[in-house]
Structure formats: structure tokens, C-alpha cells
A and B are shown apart, each in its own frame.
Chain A
């Protein structure tokens, strides 16, 4: 029976071990054999591969990529440790607060949300008080912003106190003052979910109209306001003819005269206004079959936390090297990565629509991989992981390492807030036009 991981054991592992690893099997929430939907890539394709397992070739499909798993773990850390404006947080976070900009739906963008984490352009261009968070010289930058410019593996103390998740998930400040030679930290945590022995399925698409609008009930015309009408007299006119509701293939207006035997063009059918039935079919309008999910034997989730990568980081305190502080800080980062992974797993693997996975019962999954290759299993639940993190942080802070308990709140400049409002308007308009 695997034991729970203790702080002392974790500290010893960080000092000499090779990795902390979890490999666990998942099944669809609907039971083994139910269909799940992998992510589609360009062209509607799945990311497939063939693996040889026990001597037979087995088709596999990627269910969640390395980047996507990292994002999920970041979300789990954010949701557990940071609950929004006015709350203290257990993990240092930098956040841009949009709540005063009058946009209820965009509240904030944290360093865990932003695409490039702490080095993201949004954080770069936001304000800390009166000063820009990170500005190009000669404009003055904030003190905290300068930490990112000067952080290196020999001195990661500042970054540790400001945003330790950057040291866990990796960071590259490729657009900072040093350009491509900017601050770069490699990732320490890698996760992936793959469906093993995946058989593709089929998916029909169809619609029954509750209003029972018939295909030939049209033609529908477009009014000058962009609305729909059956009366050609009310429609927009072009070349003395009424313009149909939808635009043609190249975006041009299509006209139609009701007299004469000419068939109503597609642009005048009620389906262009999203009314009417859709005949069930297995192929889309380009003749390609709809991607139909896969059924699998099981899904394999692998999460690896690299300890040599942590051992490359140094955390001098007060300008002096300190092996004790180094080990303490590395243990905090290992605990943070582990905590994030465990929280993300316990939050459930709801990867996307129709892809909810649950673990197979009776497997611990986590193991310590020692430098000589031997493995030792351990268990860890969310509560235990958070307790480990707290213990590690307390030990690190006692040795003089920084750790913000208040999130660093930046404010968007007035222009950026206006930009967000503008973008919402544009999104709604372009959505309407595509219909």
C-alpha cells in the first residue's frame, strides 16, 4: 500500500531524485466503451499515432496536449488559491484588474491566464500605480517589473517571490529589453493524455425545426436594417430588384425577381436565417465526414515533474548563496507543481464537450523516480498537496525567501479598457454578420 508523501521525503527527493511521475488510466464518464471527442486540428483531423503495445500495433489519439494540460494545471492553481478581487492568495500572482473599467464579464487577467504568463504583453503594458509595469527605457518601469528583466537561473529569488508559477511552467521573455536573448526558464512540468486503442466513430448532424418552417416558404429578403422580410417591397433594392437575405460566395448581394420560373437561389432560403429542418447527414457540405469522436480501451494520463530542472535554479538570499535556501525554494516549486497537478486531476478531467474522463478505480498513479531508475509509489490528495505546499512555503519564508501573500494588482491604462469595450462590440457585430 503506497504511503502519503511527507515534506521530509519530498525534500530529500528534490535533492537527489530524477522525477516525480504520475501515470494513470482514465475511462469515459459514461462508462468504458463510450465515445469521447479528441481535439481537432487544422483540417478537422485528430492527432493520431500508432504505438506497439505487447507486440501489436495499436492506434492511439491525443486527447490533451502538453500545452493544454499546462493550461489546465494553471487554471486549477488559480481556482484554488486565487478567488478574485479582495482575496488573499496562497500563491503569488500578478493580475490586471479590469473591474473598474465597467466591463462585468472581464474581471481580470492573471499571470496564470495570460498566454505568455508573466512576460505577456498585457501585463507588460499595464500600470502599477502611476508607473508602467515594464516599460522600454527611458520610460521608468516599476521595481517589480524590473525583477523579470534581471532574473536568471543563478538568481531566481525575485521571480520566486513575485510569480513562482513562471518557474514551474516555464517562461521566455522574448519581447523584453533583450529581445530573443531575454529571460528564459525551461518548464519543469509536462503532462499529456492519450487515448489508447482508439477506433473512430461517426457523427450525424441534423435539426428539427420546432416552428416547422418549410424549405420553400421563402424567398426571404434583406431589409435596409439587415433584418429579414418576406415582402419584396420592403427589401433593399439593387438594380431595381430585391436583394436576398444572405450574401453570395464572394460577399456580394444577390437579387431575385419573384415572377418567372427561376428557382429560388440558396441565398433566399429560410435556412440562411437559421430556420427550417436540416436533413440528417454524415458528411458536411464539403463532402468530408463529420469528425465523430473515438472509442478507446482506456486513456493514459502521464504527468512528469523534472527534479534536475529544479536543481538548476539558485536562490541567493540577501545577495549571498545559500544551499539551504536553494533546497527550500526548490521544494516549494516541486510542491507547487505537484499541488497543481493533483488539484487539476481532482477537479475532474472535463477536457471539452463530450470528453469527460474519470480515473479507473484503485490506482494511486504517483511515484518517485530515483536517479538509479528505481520507483517508489506514493499517494497524494488535494488536501495533502495543499498542506505540503504550505509547509514548504513556511520553511522557505523562515530562511528569508520572499513570498507575496497579496496579489500584485495592476490596472489597465484607460485606453486598454476602452479597447476591451470596443472589442466586445466588434465581436457581437461580426457574430451577427456571419449568421
Chain B
């Protein structure tokens, strides 16, 4: 393994996004680090031994990237202000006397041009580039260590860094997308020939000297933490679609209607390969045994003034989906979107219409971040009520205990540990989500009977990673759970201990 780590010495990263010069660039692109290493080589005499080291680094391919995550607030952007910088290209007369127009030579009257210095606050966090498969020889490692110690800055000259080789890098946040995996982010990475391209550009002078050519872009996906924590059978990398416009302000009560509309829209465009995964049925009509695509209505809940209005819908794919099947499902989603606007229109009958677009902002609202619904936690609470598979037997002494047993069975069926505490509640433990009674009932297919649904608050013996969907309606927007901050007592309800 080879890992290059760095820290920003003044806690600030100053690097401009080349596609938008008013925005700071984060996460740091691997090619920036490579360029810093090349600068350290070039400004210290261009030694051939170190050149060989750099050429070897080029052959390693795109690295894993560990960097603090902007979407959870570990990195914050400063407002980009326009700074007026004095110019230096005024001049006196080539010969003869000064003229009035040369007055702009004086400092007080110097012309100023607007410039922006976009920056981010990173603090003391360590970032790293990791190549897990690389195994450098001791000479290469020593040469690279010397180069790292000579790097002064990454990005603008005021974002000074300390760079070093490490055996214990922080866990990667981004890994290169392979094959047909859908990239969430594109980063510029070094490749074979990059060193020569930079050397040629520098020697030419002109455009290549002031701004080096950009490296090709490589797709990256979020790394899934390889922890031993128990997890749901769904992939935590949700595809988040946010609401851009629509009729009124639909809440969670209208969520099942919109989920059905989204499912229908995708089914209409699904290929044969994608159809079972989206519909949940085999071609012959029998239900699919494996976990299939699930839909999460994402609403504003949990905060002091939350009102449960819908902010978007998330799509969760099964964890063990093959790349081809995953591509088929994503193709269906892409087909459903309007190619000009990038938006998907859902029409859900009485609930109205809604336009959805893919969420690609670096710092979206908490409800639209996958992390909010999927991070490992031991306490979970339902946002939409959990629909029960069966009705309780008549004249049952302790309905709540029976329901708790059903919920426990639902958890263990998914491969999760049995919860040590299950509380059945008429209202959701999350502020803003409607009470169970307010939701439209799910109907059982065979006889049209209404399923019971209840809100629950669960405590597992150890943290469990989401997305956590429980109960009969979990593929239709029911039973969506969200981590609870520990210590939340919920509202009333008898607690039922499970076996």
C-alpha cells in the first residue's frame, strides 16, 4: 500500500474550480497533488532519480481519496468576495515627459481589477491519496518521501500544506468507479505521460506556463465503509431526487401516491432486465424473493419546526445487484428524465404533480443527504408507519407485545440483529411526521383488507447501518426509518420487550 497524506497548515484550502472561477474546488483532485510533487521536483533541480519516482507514480492509476466530507459539514465554504487588486501594467512614458494620463502610476490612483480568491475552511483534518495495491521498492519510497517533504502548497500558494508518506491513512471517502458503475463525482487524476506533458508545457512558455493543461477526468463513487456493522440489504448509496417544483406542498401523507407514480414511471421505461427489480415481480407474476429497488420519500422531519413536507424521493438499490442489472435500472431512470431539463415529472392523481431532478449540490439540506438515512445508529424511529404482515389474533391480551414480535421478526428476516427494545407508538418519534392514523391504509392484495400500521421506535444492541425499511409496505414508501438521536423518548406508548 502507498498512501500520501497531507494537512493544510493554516486550516484553509484555496483552490479554484477550473470550470467556475468563482467557486472553490473540493474535494482536492489527485492531479493537484501530483502537480505539487512535480513542482517540488522541478524547483529543486529536476533530479533524474526523482523523475523516475514520478514516472512510477503515474503508472499507479487513480487513487482512493480520503478527504473530509463537505456534505456533512466537515468542510465549509467561505463567501466568495470580490477583491480589487492593484495592477502593475501601467507605465511611464518610454521617453519624454510624463503626461497626465500617467497619473495612474501612483499607488493611490492605481487601477484595480476585480479578483476572487475562493477558499474553504478544512481545519486540521488529514487528507490522503491511497493506492492499496501499490508496493514501492525502498528506493522509490525514500525518493517519494523526500519529494513529499519538499511540497509547499496544493492549489493557491496561500494554502500551505505539509505532505508525508503514511502507513495508516484515514479511511477513503471516494474510490474510482470501475466498469459500469455510476460515478457520483469526477476528479482529475494523474496518468502515464502527465509528467512529460507538464514539462513540455512549462518549457514552451506562454499559455502552458501560466496555466498547465488539465488532466483527464476520472469518475469516482463514494466508498462504502467496510465495517463489520450489521447493515440492511439495501445499498447506502441512495440515488436522491429532489423536488424542484410542483403543485402545493405535499407531505408524507401524499408520499405513497408519489412513490407509486415514480415506480410506474420507471416501469413504463424499464427493459426486461430491469423490470423484476423495479416491479418486484418475476416475469411470470410471482413475487421476487430477493430484495429489490425500494423508494424512500424524503421529508423535512426531526427539526424543531419541521412540518413533514416532501423534499424529494430517494431510490435505494439492493446491495448485491450485478453491474448490468444496476445499469438497466439506471437506464430506466435516465429514460424517464426529460433530456433538456434533466427533470422527471410525476403525476399522482389527487396529490398533484411534482418535478424531480437529481440532487448534485455539494451541501444539500439534511433530509436530502444519503448519510441522514443510512448512517449507522443503534436507535431508529419510523417516519412513515410500518405496515404489519398479519392482523393480530382476536381477543389478544397484549397487542403491543405481539406487534413488537412482528417487528423483531421483520428485522431478523432482513439479516439485522434482533432489537433489544421495541416501542409501539401512535405517532412518529420524529417531529413533523404525521401520526399513523393519518396515513392511507395499505390494502392486502388477496382480499382487499386493510393492513394495520404503527409507528415504532427501535433500539438495537449495536449500531446498524441503513437504509432501514421495515414491514409489508417497505417497497411502497411505508416503514421508512431514520436514526434517532439517543435519548429521545418519543411520545407515550407502552414499550414491549421482545424475546
Contact = CB atoms under 8 A, between A and B. Distances in A.
A121 B209 CA distance: 23
Contacts of A415: 92-93, 97-99, 102
B152 A116 contact: no
Interface in B53-101: 73-74, 76-79, 81-83, 85-86, 88-95, 97-100
Contact of B76 (A51, A113, A426): A51
A419 B103 contact: yes
Contact of A181 (B79, B90, B102, B209): B209
B497 to A, nearest CB: 33
Contacts of A119: 88
A48 interface: yes
Interface stretch (B5-13, B226-234, B332-340): B5-13
Interface string B295-322: 0000000000000000000000000000
A186 B157 contact: yes
Nearest to A66: B158
A250 interface: no
Interface residues of A, number: 65
Contacts of B79: 45-49
Interface residues of B, number: 58
A49 B119 CA distance: 10
Contacts of A66: 117, 158
B91 A121 contact: yes
A109 B98 CA distance: 18
A156 B205 CA distance: 21
Interface string A363-384: 0000001011100000000000
Contacts of A116: 86, 88
Given A45-B79, A422-B103, A190 B92 contact: no
A218 interface: no
Interface stretch (A26-34, A301-309, A335-343, A401-409): A301-309
Given A175-B88, A306-B9, A51 B123 contact: yes
Contact of A371 (B90, B95, B105, B162): B162
Contacts of B83: 41, 65, 67
B270 interface: no
B90 A121 contact: yes
Interface stretch (B107-115, B172-180, B191-199): B107-115
Contacts of A246: none
A93 to B, nearest CB: 16
Nearest to B43: A312
Interface in B206-224: 206, 209-210
A134 to B, nearest CB: 11
B405 to A, nearest CB: 37
A186 B153 contact: yes
Contacts of A46: 79
A180 interface: yes
Nearest to B209: A181
A416 B98 contact: yes
Interface in A400-429: 413-416, 418-420, 422-423, 426-427
B105 A416 contact: yes
Given A45-B79, A66-B158, A190-B158, A175 B91 contact: yes
Nearest to A46: B79
Given A186-B157, A187-B158, A125 B74 contact: no
A302 B81 contact: no
Nearest to A109: B107
Interface in A10-63: 18-19, 21, 41-42, 45-52, 57, 60, 62
Contacts of B209: 180-181
A162 interface: no
A122 B102 contact: no
Contacts of A41: 81-83
A386 B202 CA distance: 40
A420 B102 CA distance: 10
A84 interface: no
A47 B88 contact: no
A416 B123 contact: no
Contact of B9 (A21, A50, A57, A62): A21
Contact of A62 (B74, B78, B91, B105): B78
A73 B79 CA distance: 25
Contacts of B86: 115-116
Among B9, B82, B97, B108, find the residue whose CB has the most chain A CB atoms closer than 10 A. Answer: B9
Given A371-B162, A413-B92, A308 B149 contact: yes
B11 A312 contact: no
Contact of B82 (A42, A50, A62, A113): A42
A229 interface: no
Contact of A369 (B43, B103, B162): B162
B109 A423 contact: yes
A312 B105 contact: no
B339 to A, nearest CB: 36
A192 to B, nearest CB: 6
Contacts of B269: none
Given A19-B162, A49-B121, A312-B44, A420 B88 contact: no
B105 A121 contact: yes
A18 B150 CA distance: 9
B98 A136 contact: no
B151 A308 contact: yes
A415 B93 CA distance: 10
Contact of B81 (A19, A42, A60, A187): A42
A170 B160 CA distance: 14
B81 A45 contact: yes
Interface string A267-302: 000000000000000000000000000000000001
Contacts of B74: 52
A66 B115 CA distance: 14
Contacts of B205: 181
A124 interface: yes
B164 interface: yes
Contacts of A422: 100, 103
Given A49-B77, A52-B73, A371-B149, A420 B82 contact: no
A122 B73 contact: no
A18 B114 CA distance: 33
B106 interface: yes
Contacts of B157: 170, 186-187
A312 B81 contact: no
A304 B157 CA distance: 12
A121 B108 contact: no
Contacts of A426: 103
A419 B121 contact: no
A389 to B, nearest CB: 22
Nearest to A106: B106
B107 A113 contact: yes
Interface of A: 18-19, 21, 41-42, 45-52, 57, 60, 62, 65-67, 109, 113-116, 119-122, 124-125, 136, 139, 153-154, 170, 174-175, 180-181, 186-187, 190, 192, 302, 304, 306, 308-309, 311-312, 369, 371-373, 413-416, 418-420, 422-423, 426-427
Q: Which 10 A-B pairs have the closest CB atoms?
A: A415-B98, A125-B92, A41-B81, A49-B78, A115-B86, A309-B152, A116-B88, A18-B162, A415-B97, A186-B157
Given A21-B9, A373-B162, A422-B103, 18 more contacts: A41-B83, A42-B82, A47-B79, A49-B77, A49-B121, A52-B76, A60-B121, A67-B83, A114-B107, A121-B92, A180-B209, A190-B160, A192-B10, A306-B153, A312-B40, A415-B93, A416-B98, A419-B100
24 contacts: A19-B160, A41-B82, A42-B82, A46-B79, A47-B79, A50-B76, A51-B121, A52-B73, A52-B74, A52-B76, A114-B107, A121-B92, A121-B105, A170-B157, A175-B88, A181-B206, A190-B158, A302-B10, A302-B11, A312-B40, A312-B150, A416-B98, A416-B105, A427-B108
Interface of B: 7, 9-12, 40, 43-45, 73-74, 76-79, 81-83, 85-86, 88-95, 97-100, 102-103, 105-110, 114, 117, 121, 123, 149-153, 157-158, 160, 162, 164, 205-206, 209-210
